[in-house]
Amino acid sequence: MDSSFHFYVSNRFPCCVTGYHRKVSHTIRRSRPPFRAFRLTFAVAAATAVILITIRPIATFAAPGATAAPPRISTAAKPQRAHTAGFAPDNRTLFAPIAYLAPPGPARASRAITILNRQLDFQRKISFHPKLAPALQDVVDLLPPRQSTMIRAAALYSKPGVPWRAEPDGTHQICVTGRPSDGDYLYRLAPESRSPEEPARFSGVFGLKPAADSTPTSISSVTGTLGGELMLDTYGIGALVDASADALREVHGDLRPPWDSSPGAFNHHDRAALEKFHRQMPHLAAKFDHYLKFNNLLDEFNSTAGPVVLFNVDAEVRQDALKKYPLLYDFYRKVVPAVTAKSAIVDSHGNFWMREAFDHGHIHFTMMIRDGLLTPFNAAMQPAGEGLALNELARGSYRTLASAQVTSLAMNFGLANLGFATDYRRDSGSVTFATRMDAVPQLIAPPGVHEVMDLIAGDFLRGLATGNGGMKVKLSSRLLPNGIYDFSSVTTAQLNYSPTLELLARIGDAIANKHNDQVRAEERAFGEELFDAFVADYNDARPAIVALDLDKDSQPEKSK
């Protein structure tokens, strides 16, 4: 299930939206990434897909207080202490964290099943079966492909034929509504933007406002706004945070010696985790086996503070498995081997909370868990501080840096220093992520070519990072008095006009448009294939989930 609240209605029109008493309030000033969903990939191998999707945006906070000295890791077998119970027992269902999707009270797991059933039905429609009404399709045909919308936004403001809604301040808007329609999710053009009033309804707006120094004949810069609001009768971000915190306890192999002496060795720890995954989620595990080759999954060490699990994925996509999706296969075979990308969430001491990378076809993802808590680690992949209980976090600030590059003709091209700062807030009924770009992206290019590229794209990137305080994204969910959750997201950015970039974008669009619709259809089909496997395992696991209501030791703690 994709709970990222990122909706796209086509390859061109960008529609993104993308009750608890807190136990402890932490103020954190060490690490920070933009809120974005953890993709339905490799974390599922160690836990449950529906829950771990949310770990990526939430589990990136530095622990409060000063960083403790990292304990020394030893390969010698030591008695496991009582706090090893922080990890979930091997016989507990991987779907146990789902119970946290329901408010505390009797029959919580059973109520969570009812809630998740509604969410899964909705998620299938909105994620894999979007449908555009004819009038909206006509507007989409007038807009540039979504991959170049930002670059061409200033020119788009005055494009003839687009049925803009003109606001008094000069803003041009396109408003959209969305609702379920049988097995699809139908988007329509709307005369104005209004908050939805029923569950599973969506309202979105795409707006462009000229800069103060613009004239009717010369629009050199615009402020772009992309916003959306969605009503759900299932759960809010807070419940996903609580479920994610519990899901971290599932991430382990057998927690037994012989312990690993260094990261990256595939041994009995990895096999134990994979065997549990295959036993409890056989349908999804079969899909992973079909599409992925795992070189490593996790490493388990012992320290003076007890067992440490390094969730340390090294996986490769089996290219031939993608042949059933010919356009995706062709893209992966030709383009992906030349691509490298990475992101690292670090604190002020240089310690990591999470790392992910794509390196010429190899997929890497790393995080550390101790006592069932997300734990910082250093460059040597040793614990570097106390763990963090995500469900107890009321506020925090965190940061991430990312880069991506493509190698062509023995030369590297790309972007580095993609930095974002986020403030996280949570109270009894709401969760908010407020993110801004806090660094000017740096171009990666060979000497000589770099100067030319900076002339072409430098002003656009500087405007994106610094204009109007930098690109901003705000995502939130709040519980309304009627028990419905209101999700909202707003992205704003200054988009400077660059005629050279626009020309390059047009060339790229002409190439991409040839197969864009078909590629998007294949992406959705691939996603639904994994989704179906997850749902099959979830349906099989329902008796084990219901049994949690009878097992006092397995019941989620009540909110305090």
**Span 397-419, mean pLDDT?**
87
Nearest alpha-carbon partner for 244 in 434, 352, 374:
374
CB atoms within 10 A of CB 69: 9
Grade residue 531 by pLDDT with cuts at 50, 70 and 90: very high
Tokens representing 137 are 């399709």
pLDDT at 291: 96
Residue of 106 and 457 predicted with greater confidence: 106
Q: How much is the mean pLDDT over the chain?
A: 82
In this structure, of 41-45, 160-164, 421-425, 548-552, the range with the lowest mean pLDDT score is 41-45
Report the alpha-carbon distance of residue 123 to residue 5 in Å, rounded.
Answer: 9
* Per-residue pLDDT tens over the stretch 139-163: 988 887 766 788 888 888 888 889 9
The pLDDT, as a whole number, for residue 483 is: 95
Distance, in Å, from the CA atom of 207 to the CA atom of 210, rounded to the nearest integer, reads: 10
Q: Does a structural domain hold residue 16?
A: no
| Residue 94, SS3 per DSSP | coil
- Which stretch of 4-13, 494-503, 520-529 has the lowest confidence by average pLDDT? 4-13
**Across residues 73-100, what is the average pLDDT?**
70
How many domains does the chain divide into?
1
List, in sequence order, every residue forming a beta bridge with 44; answer none if it has no partner.
Answer: none
- Residues 129-144 have pLDDT tens digits of 999 999 999 998 888 7
Domain-embedded: residue 220:
no
Question: So what's the pLDDT on residue 396?
Answer: 85
Q: Is residue 96 part of a domain?
A: yes
**Residue 297 β-bridge partners:** none
- CA–CA separation, 171 and 165 (whole Å): 8
Kindly compute the dihedral angle of the four CA atoms of residues 81, 83, 86, 92, in this order, to the nearest 10 degrees.
50
Token pair recorded at residue 281 = 């989620």
pLDDT band for position 57 (50/70/90)? very low
Residue 316 has a pLDDT of: 93
Q: What is the pLDDT of residues 201-238, one digit of tens each?
A: 999 999 999 988 777 777 889 999 999 999 999 999 99
For residues 356-369, average pLDDT: 93
Q: Dig out the tokens for 247 from the structure.
A: 């899901």
Tell whether 238 is covered by a domain.
yes
Residue type, 280: Q
- Mean pLDDT for the stretch of residues 64-93: 54
Contact 130, 533 (CB under 8 A): no
Instruction: Please tell me the predicted confidence (pLDDT) of residue 98.
Output: 97
Q: pLDDT grade, residue 118 (50/70/90)?
A: very high
Query: Model pTM?
Result: 0.83
Length of the chain: 560
Q: What gap in Å lies between CA 5 and CA 237, rounded to an integer? A: 10
In a domain, 41, yes or no: yes
Share of the chain above pLDDT 70, in %: 80
CB atoms within 10 A of CB 347: 22
* Rounded to 5°, angle at Cα 224 from 479 and 452: 135
The pairing of strands 373-375 and 362-370 is antiparallel
Say if 180 falls within a structural domain. Answer: no
**60 vs 298: which has the higher pLDDT:** 298
Greatest mean pLDDT among 228-242, 353-367, 395-409: 228-242
- The values of phi and psi at residue 353, to 5°, are -115, -25
Interatomic CA distance for residues 419 and 440, integer angstroms = 8
Contacting residues for 311 by C-beta, under 8 A, at least 6 apart? 43, 46, 251, 297, 298, 365, 366, 367, 368, 369
Q: Which domain holds residue 94?
A: 29-127+234-554
* DSSP code, position 461: H
Res 136: pLDDT: 95
The contacts of residue 114 (CB under 8 Å, 6+ apart) are none
Residue 52 has pLDDT above 80, yes or no: no
Q: Classify burial at 277, counting beta carbons within 10 Å of its beta carbon; exposed 0-12, middle 13-18, buried 19 or more.
A: buried
pLDDT at 37 (0 to 100)? 28
Pairing of strands 485-496, 472-479: antiparallel
Kindly report, residue by residue over 244-273, the tens digit of the pLDDT: 999 999 999 999 999 999 999 999 999 999
Residue 347 inside a domain? The answer is yes
Crossing angle for the helix pair 516-547 and 108-128, nearest 10 degrees? 170
